[in-house]
Amino acid sequence: MRAAALSIAPAVLPAGTVKQIERAKETERILSILHQWGIHTLGQLAALSRDDLAARLGAHAVELWERANGRTERILKLVSPPESFIESFEFENEIETIEPLLFILRRFLHQLATRLNTIYLVAKELRLRITFADKSQYERIFKIPQPTNNEDILFRMLHTHLENFTSKDPIVAIELEAQPSRSVRQQFGLFETALRDTMQLHETLARLVGLLGADRVGTPVLEETHRPDAFRMEPFAWEFGHPEPEIGHPERSRGIPMRNLKGNIAGSLDCAQDEGVNGAVRGCVPLR
């Protein structure tokens, strides 16, 4: 083996670390003296007398001598970088059919499921990104109602969506990302029951959205208006339980419930004066 040369590489130190700069300068000074003595390798430094080195060059030279002899212990810090679950592929030739796309997605799901199973996690969300020949991109996020690593279930979600997918330009690249989470376990109340097959319901709703449109499938929510029977459709929420209101944003208090009245019912309006009133007024009496 080649003897390791005694040298110090120039380091980029953060601003304000005066102590580190001073230690680096002291190390350079000691190494220059050692080079003048003919000490150029770690073996030559380790062969010197510790006491003589301390008497001539000081405590910092002793630290270098201990490192050369393997007597210095430094605890290693275990750092786990954040792991991303992303699979991507660029096609050599532009594709215009769904079959090659599904083949690649099936392979992506197998790789992602294997990696998630290794660390005992499940996929709670899938993000599909498709790149077209004109550099434009299409992105779709799939919320998984019941987090799972089942490849068949996840593939059916993607297949159901891509059955009705059309594009003007051919596809040149595809990317699939999985958001990991721990397995969700929920305890229901005495009179609550879970869905028999959550994923089957999700697939059925996805097919209905493809046939009818996203604005026609969901949960009806009443509009804040005086118009009778006014509502809008919102996508189904798959989160368990009810989220707690955020601090500083208290839940909006509900007003007095209004009753929907069918048909024409005669009524009267009492006001202080008739200015600004549009339409016919049956009666107007002063307020007391």
Query: Could you tell me the residue ranges of all domains in the chain?
Result: 1-74, 84-185+198-241
pLDDT for position 175? 95
- 190: Cβ contacts below 8 Å, ≥ 6 apart: none
- Exposed, middle or buried: residue 154 (CB in 10 Å: 0-12, 13-18, 19+)? buried
DSSP assignment, residue 131? E
- 127: Cβ contacts below 8 Å, ≥ 6 apart: 139, 140, 141, 142, 176, 177, 178, 179
Instruction: Collapse the DSSP code of 91 into the 3-class scheme (helix H, G, I; strand E, B; otherwise coil) and give the result.
Output: strand
Which residue bears the tokens 């987090």?
147
- Indicate the pTM of the whole model: 0.47
pLDDT for position 216? 77
Q: At what angle do helices 59-68 and 18-37 cross, to 10 degrees?
A: 70
Instruction: Collapse the DSSP code of 85 into the 3-class scheme (helix H, G, I; strand E, B; otherwise coil) and give the result.
Output: coil
Query: Can you tell me the distance from the alpha carbon of 147 to that of 196, in angstroms, rounded to the nearest whole number?
Result: 15
- The pairs formed by 181-184 with CB atoms below 8 angstroms and a separation of 24 or more are 181/121, 181/122, 181/123, 181/124, 181/147, 182/120, 182/121, 182/122, 183/122, 183/147, 184/146, 184/147, 184/240
**Which of 42, 32, 37, 40 lies closest to 52, judged by CA?**
37
CATH of 84-185+198-241, one of 3.10.20.30, 3.30.70.260, 3.30.1490.100, 1.10.3720.10: 3.30.1490.100
3-state secondary structure 203-264: HHHHHHHHHHCHHHCCEEEECCCCCCCCEEEECCCCCCCCCCCCCCCCCCCCCCCCCCCCCC
pLDDT tens for the chain, 288 residues long, are 444 555 545 455 555 567 778 888 888 888 888 888 888 888 888 888 888 888 888 888 888 888 888 877 777 777 777 788 999 999 999 998 889 999 999 999 999 999 999 988 999 999 999 999 998 999 999 888 788 898 998 998 899 888 888 888 899 999 999 999 887 666 666 666 566 666 666 677 777 776 777 777 778 888 888 888 788 887 766 555 444 444 444 555 455 555 555 555 566 666 655 555 555 555 554 444
**Which of 40, 35, 61 lies closest to 49, judged by CA?**
61
pLDDT for position 128? 94
DSSP assignment, residue 169? S
pLDDT for position 244? 47
Contact 145, 125 (CB under 8 A): no
pLDDT for position 238? 58
pLDDT for position 15? 52
